[in-house]
Amino acid sequence: MLQRLHVKNLALIEETEVEFGPGLNILTGETGAGKSLMIGSLNLALGAKFEREMLRKGADSALVELIFTCEGDSVQEKLAQMELEPEEGQIIITRKLQPGKSVCKINGETVTAKQVKELAEVLLDIHGQHEHQSLLHKQKHREILDAYCGSDYQEPAQAVAEGYRMCSELRRQLEEEKWDEAALAREQSLAEFELNEITEARLIADEDEELERRYRFLSNNRKISENLAESYHYSGTREEGGAGISLSRALKALRGVTMYDSRLEELESQLAEVDNLLADYNRDMAEYIAGSEFDEKAYAEVEDRLNTINRLKGKYGNSIAEILQYAERCRRQLDKLADYDSYMQRLKTELAAQEKALADACERLSEVRKKHAALLAEKLREALKQLNFLTVQFEIDVRRSKIITEHGQDEVEFLISTNPGEDLKSLGQVASGGELSRVMLAIKTVLAERDEIDTLIFDEIDAGISGKTAWKVAGQLNILSRSHQVLCITHLPQIAAMADVHLVIEKSSTDESTITDIRQVDADGELAELARLLGSDLMTEAALSNARELREQALEQKTKS
């Protein structure tokens, strides 16, 4: 359940915090007060695109924060998949918005906008102002039916998607490798040349690393020789000024007085050890210098070998391992081309088998859809009657398409007749905007029975309806709010009167700025807002009496339903 919304520096909102409750949360306000801004804030928190123009004037950044209670198995599973933990039973989604960048966090951990959207899919469902227009497209009908099929849909749908992917890949291979004799000869010649070039190099894994080390040594041989000679000179025992000569003299002087004080024996021992170490160093250095003469032939061989390897890297891969992998691909290509006709026939045979498996998977998926289509149509007929479609006929037509896609081979279409004697027709041919809104509400109501999404949000679901129908829509929202938290932006007093929590969005202006704010109203405030929705500019006793009567009527309907 959505507990709280906190918004700062977004459009006309300076800073506001909204508390939501269980049941039916109604949001009302004058046109232009910023009702849709609330839905926009929710969408922004959940990863929607942010434009610089959305920032409040004078602000450097905006902030949107949502707090949900962590309920339901699907929510727990999604958090576990994302390796996130609830924070005291809550999920806190925060997004800081700045021009050119934004930072999303879930319970304090930085995440991507994509991860927020994935989590949002199990937390809430937002029905936008114009979403009902999507019912004019058959693709939406299929998506709705598939959602209703639930777990029965998963296995055949995955089989169809995988089969379609494999068939597409095999068709691509057949098309790309369809060569004539001349092209086949060119392909064989190229593969043979490349394989021979790599084979003749006789590459050894990781040899380039040792060659590069050896090349660095040989390239710097002169500097190495000069520095070693200088080190040997200053540490030696043969020439005046060498550390070895000075150390020997120091040791001789010390030994001349050790008989006078036993404490000097330890110092003599330390100095003698240093003398021995320096002597060992000089011997080892002399041997190294003697064996490190520059070998011009070895240098040329190393340089030539490195040039060969680097040339192959430039053509076949960034490392010896990648070059050898390329050679293996050449071998497989040559094996394939040596028996090209058999290879192509194997591809065709495999494609035929995959196409049959795909057709079988499509058939299984179609059976699932047809089974659930009948159940969903019956559910929707009942829901539509509750929404004042008194003589409605509603069917879901699942028919075979001429082509197979990753979604199967079915065309799904919702058919409706709202008047007695009229034939069933596609929704787009029959339904008005207000009727489409009610059909979408019926769909949301039926699907809500099957999913675990706790919070449903409707942005002006009442478009194009009034009178008795408005009461029917209000009643349906009330029924839906018994099993789900419902947030609804509305202009209709009949729907507003059903509120369990009533929030009013207001815009106020001064000479310097305009601010949109939102507040929860008490019983008196609710009556005043209902009176305004009923069309009264003045809060007269008559207007309040009408509002009170409307509220009592709504309470009576809530009690009965």
Among the ranges given (78-92, 174-188, 542-556), the one the predictor scored with the smallest mean pLDDT: 174-188
pLDDT at 238: 65
Q: Are 454 and 3 in contact (CB under 8 A)?
A: no
If you average pLDDT over every residue of the chain, what do you get?
A: 85
Positive or negative, the Cα torsion across 328, 333, 336, 337? negative
pLDDT surpassing 90 at residue 412: yes
Q: How confident is the model at residue 425 (pLDDT cuts 50, 70, 90)?
A: confident
Nearest to 313 by CA among 207, 392, 467, 239: 207
Residue extents of the structural domains in the chain: 2-129+449-560, 155-365
Nearest to 64 by CA among 37, 96, 18, 26: 96
pTM: 0.65
What pLDDT digit, counting tens, does each position of 181-228 carry?
787 788 888 888 998 998 998 988 888 888 888 888 777 776 777 677
Task: Give the CA distances from residue 400 to residues 166, 204, 363, 368, 416, in Å, rounded to whole numbers and listed in that order.
Answer: 21, 58, 9, 13, 20
CA angle 410, 414, 420 (to 5 degrees): 140
State how far the Cα of 474 lies from the Cα of 478, in Å rounded to an integer.
6
Q: Are 401 and 142 in contact (CB under 8 A)?
A: no
State how far the Cα of 84 lies from the Cα of 277, in Å rounded to an integer.
60
Nearest to 484 by CA among 510, 453, 513: 453
pLDDT at 351: 93
Domain 2-129+449-560: which CATH number of 3.10.180.10, 3.40.50.620, 3.40.50.300, 3.30.420.40: 3.40.50.300
Q: Are 537 and 477 in contact (CB under 8 A)?
A: no
What pLDDT digit, counting tens, does each position of 457-504 carry?
888 777 777 788 888 888 888 888 888 899 988 888 999 999 999 999
Q: Residue 393 forms beta bridges with which residues? A: 417
Q: How confident is the model at residue 438 (pLDDT cuts 50, 70, 90)?
A: confident
Q: Are 449 and 535 in contact (CB under 8 A)?
A: no
Q: Residue 217 forms beta bridges with which residues? A: none
What pLDDT digit, counting tens, does each position of 48-58 carry?
888 888 888 88
In 8-35, which positions are buried (b, 16+ CB within 10 angstroms) versus exposed (e)? bbbbbbbebebebebbbbbbbbeeebbb
Q: How confident is the model at residue 422 (pLDDT cuts 50, 70, 90)?
A: confident
Task: Give the CA distances from residue 424 to residues 148, 241, 377, 428, 454, in Å, rounded to whole numbers and listed in that order.
Answer: 22, 112, 13, 12, 34
Strand order in 408-417's β-sheet? 393-405, 408-417, 425-426
State how far the Cα of 234 lies from the Cα of 240, in Å rounded to an integer.
9
Nearest to 531 by CA among 539, 523, 522: 539
Which residue type sits at 508?
S
Which residue type sits at 116?
V
User: In whole angstroms, what separates CA 394 from the centre of its chain?
Assistant: 37
The pair of three-digit structure tokens given for residue 157, joined into one six-digit string: 């749908």
Nearest to 362 by CA among 335, 416, 400, 325: 400
The pair of three-digit structure tokens given for residue 107, joined into one six-digit string: 């319970």
User: In whole angstroms, what separates CA 206 from the centre of its chain?
Assistant: 38
Better-predicted residue by pLDDT, 74 or 526: 526
Nearest to 463 by CA among 102, 52, 129: 129
